Structure 1
Amino acid sequence: MSWAMVKNNQVIEIFNGPKPLTIKGTQYPKSIFDVWSTEQLKKLGIYRTRITSVVDSRTHKTTGGVTYTINTDHVAIHYNKKAHVLEDVTNEDKSVTAGLKSKLIAEVDDHAHKILAPSDWMTIRQSETGVAMADNWKTWRASVRTQAKAMKTAINAVTTITDIPGLYVTYATASDGTMTSVSSGHLWHWPKNPDED
């Protein structure tokens, strides 16, 4: 819980927790934050805060600014944000700044590589010694590549920043502690390898 000190209709300080205060020469213990009513605190210029904008890092980045709106019973805190640029941008010097889609595609390729790397030795062994890779591992490795391709196809199909959250698989924790998928997306839903089944 946090509070804002308001003076002359402006937020002059944010308290991230209760603390002793001196206001107009009078000292107040930090316990006022717990025991005083909203109206009593308001008479001192102290308002509870509410965050009204959560920055989803998948779609936006913070710009460092904060806007406060003083309401009758709270101060709304709004974090200023800017949407990620979806497409690559060619700069005046002909260099290219990667857009969000390119960054996500690179993440998919990197993740697929990391998933496959521990079993690469099976492929090498097969090519060098002729010892065949087990069919279930061949099937799994192919499924990782297929899933990576599906992820990249889904990323390339995005046309607006509001489409980005729909790319992600959303999980919830069941009562027994297991993670279950609660919405279908393409990103980061990798097939389990044969040793994980």
Structure 2
Amino acid sequence: MFALVQDNTITKTLSGNRGITLGDIQYPRSIYTLWSAAEREAIGIYEVVFDNTNKKDEAYYNNTNQSFAFAGGVVTASYGSATAKALADANATDEDGVELDPVVVIDGLKTKHKRIIKQQASGLLIPTDWYVIKATDVESYSVPSAITTFRANVRTKSNDMEVLIDACSTVDELAALYEYVNTGTEENPVMERPLGEFPEAV
């Protein structure tokens, strides 16, 4: 991305994929790739330097729009302070802050993450559902113990994960549940996350 600077003020941002007319001169888009930075800056076009210091993971935060500034011969694009997304569910409101009627619930991060856990657990259980169905239909058939244990472990792990999610009081705590860390040694690393893992399918 580039910016046009005139009289020390950014007048427009440029994608760099089309030419530009300045005064009576039409410049081709090749100036963005073939010209040196000094040559472009001589006509007021500066490459944008991105400052992502304040940008946070969009899965957990709402970032601001970028703002552009020109100082010291450099155009910088930066973000303001990010806002954490809501952990808990909330009722939607109108422009006056009055709750909608009928009530419309906006899912918070906890609900969204627990829904994903439930979906993952369901995906692990579905391939062995037929064992349970057969045991219901055929009186003489019993579900193999390995299958019974696996299904119970999936449900237990799913519940444990949801408890950990519910216990989070900040979005950073929630994000940390998914971050893998080495619980082993440098020579024999073991990458694990606080949320844990579902048992392997049988």
TM-score, reference length from structure 1: 0.74
Looking at structure 2, the residues matched to 170 and 15 of structure 1 have their Cα atoms a distance apart, in angstroms, of 39
Correspondence for 1:101: 110
Residues paired across the two proteins, number: 183
Q: Does 1:142 align with 2:152?
A: yes
> Contact conserved, 2:4 with 2:12, CA < 8 A, in 1?
yes
The structure-2 alpha-carbon separation of the partners of 1:155 and 1:143, relative to structure 1 and needing over 3 Å to count, comes to same
In the alignment, structure 2 segments of 5+ residues that lack a partner are: 93-97, 182-188
Instruction: Select between 138-147 and 71-80 the one with higher mean Cα deviation.
Output: 71-80
Correspondence for 1:193: 201
Looking at structure 1, the residues matched to 191 and 42 of structure 2 have their Cα atoms a distance apart, in angstroms, of 46
How far is the alpha carbon of 1:161 from its aligned partner? 1.8
Correspondence for 1:128: 137
How far is the alpha carbon of 1:184 from its aligned partner? 1.6
In the alignment, structure 1 segments of 5+ residues that lack a partner are: 172-179
C-alpha offsets along residues 57-92 of structure 1, whole Å, 9 cap, x if unaligned?
3212356x3322334333224377532111233566
How far is the alpha carbon of 1:137 from its aligned partner? 2.3
The structure-2 alpha-carbon separation of the partners of 1:108 and 1:15, relative to structure 1 and needing over 3 Å to count, comes to same
The one-letter amino acid paired with 1:117 is I
The structure-2 alpha-carbon separation of the partners of 1:164 and 1:52, relative to structure 1 and needing over 3 Å to count, comes to farther
TM-score, reference length from structure 2: 0.73
The structure-2 alpha-carbon separation of the partners of 1:144 and 1:6, relative to structure 1 and needing over 3 Å to count, comes to farther
The one-letter amino acid paired with 1:85 is A
Counterpart mapping for 1:36-185 below 5 A: 36-53=35-52, 54-62=55-63, 65-71=65-71, 72-78=73-79, 81-89=82-90, 93=99, 95=103, 96-129=105-138, 130-170=140-180, 182=191, 184-185=193-194
The structure-2 alpha-carbon separation of the partners of 1:19 and 1:139, relative to structure 1 and needing over 3 Å to count, comes to same
The one-letter amino acid paired with 1:107 is I
RMSD over equivalenced CA pairs, Å? 3.1
How far is the alpha carbon of 1:30 from its aligned partner? 2.2
The structure-2 alpha-carbon separation of the partners of 1:35 and 1:79, relative to structure 1 and needing over 3 Å to count, comes to farther
Give secondary structure in 2 for the equivalent of 1:35: coil
The one-letter amino acid paired with 2:154 is V
Runs of 4+ off more than 6 Å: none
How far is the alpha carbon of 1:145 from its aligned partner? 1.4
How far is the alpha carbon of 1:10 from its aligned partner? 4.1
Looking at structure 2, the residues matched to 107 and 75 of structure 1 have their Cα atoms a distance apart, in angstroms, of 38
> Contact conserved, 1:122 with 1:133, CA < 8 A, in 2?
yes
The structure-2 alpha-carbon separation of the partners of 1:23 and 1:158, relative to structure 1 and needing over 3 Å to count, comes to same
How far is the alpha carbon of 1:155 from its aligned partner? 0.7
Looking at structure 2, the residues matched to 61 and 39 of structure 1 have their Cα atoms a distance apart, in angstroms, of 36
> Contact conserved, 2:161 with 2:195, CA < 8 A, in 1?
yes
**Structure (1/2) with the larger strand percentage:** 1
